[in-house]
Structure 1
Amino acid sequence: MRKMVEKSLEEAFAGESMAHMKYTIFAEVAEREGKKNIARLFRAIAYAEFVHAKNHATNLGYVKSTEENLSTAIGGETFEVEDMYPAYLEIAKYFEEKGAERSFHYAIEAEKIHAKMYEDAKDKASKNEDIEEKSIYICPVCGYTYMGDEPPEKCPVCGAPQDKFVKF
C-alpha cells in the first residue's frame, strides 16, 4: 500500500473512532436529559462511524486472528500502563490539573487489569481454547474491571458502590 493511502486510512480510522466514542457519550447525555430519540440518533450514527472505522482497520491490516489481536491488545495496554499514562499523569500533576490527574490514575489502574485479562485470554487462545464463562463488571466511574460472580462492594480504585457496576 502506498504511504499516502496508508496515512489517509490511519487518519480516517482515528477520526471515525473518535466520532464513534463522542457520539456514544453524547447519547448518554441526551438519555439523561430525557431525549430518548436524540440518544437513539446519536447511537445509530455512532454505529455507522464504527462501521467506517472497522472498514479502515481491515484495509490497514489491523484485524487478524484472535491470538494476534490479543497480542496487539496486550501491547497497547502495556504501553498505556508503562509509558503513556505515567507521562500524562506527571504533566497533569505539574500543572495541578486535578481532574486530569484523576482521569489518568483511573485509566492506569484499569489498564493494568485489562493487560492481565488479555494475557490470560491469549494463553487460552494459544491452546485453541476460550476463556471461562464469567460475568465481567465495569465500574462506570473509573473503568475498573472485574471478572467473576459479583464485583466488590465498593470499587477498589474510586469507591463507587457495587450497584453502579455495568455487567457484561
Structure 2
Amino acid sequence: MLFLNRNKFTQKYLKTISRIGGEIVNLKGTKTLENLMKAFAGESQARNRYTFYASVAKKEGFEQISALFRETADNEKEHAEVFFKHIIEGMTGELPVMVHVDADYPVDLRGTRENLKAAAAGENEEWTELYPTFADVAEKEGFRTVAESFRQIAKVEKRHETRYLKLLENVETEKVFKREEKVLWKCGNCGYILEAKEAPEQCPACKHSKAYFELFVENY
C-alpha cells in the first residue's frame, strides 16, 4: 500500500515544500513567476527578430552583421532556456500550467541600420531596467538563484548593446568595408586575407563578393 501511494505522496510533498536550503523554490503566485515568463517571452521573441534581421543584413550585403545577428539570436535562445528552466523547477508539481502576463513587446523590421538601432535599444532596456528590477523582486521574494540569473544575463545584454552600437557606427560612417589606414581583411567564405584600406569588390581566391569580407583580428 505504501508503494502504491508513493507517487501521490511525492507530488503532495513537492507541492507543500516551499524552501530548500533556506531558499524559496515554489514560484506559484509570485511576481517572480510573472517576471520569468516575461523574460522568457522577451528572449524568445528577440531570438526570432534577430534571425529576421540577419536575413535582411545578408540581402543588403552585410555578411558579418548577418552572422552576428544569428550569433546573438543563439545567445538569446540560451537566455530563454535559463528562464524557462527556473519556471519548470519552481512549478514542480503544478505542471502543466498557464502563466498570464501583461506586457508589451517590440515589432520592427526595416533596413539593417534601423534594425541595429532597434536591437541596441532592446538590449539597453533589458540590462538597464528590466533585469535589474526583476532581480531585485526575486531577491525580495527569496529567489536568490533566479536573481543571480537575471543579473548575470544582464551583463551579456550590455555587451550585446555595445556590439550593436559599434556595428551601427560602422554602417553609418561607411566603415564596414573601408578604413582610413591599411588593415587586414579576411574573406569569410574561403579565409583569404589581404592588407588594404578597403575590402576588394571580389575575393581574389574564391570570387565571392565584398559582402563576405570583414576585419581580420586574431583573438586567440
Q: TM-score, normalised by structure 1?
A: 0.43
- Structure with greater strand percent: 2
- Structure of greater relative contact order (alpha carbons < 8 Å, 6+ residues apart): 2
- Structure with greater helix percent: 1
Flag the structure with larger Rg: 2
Q: TM-score, normalised by structure 2?
A: 0.34
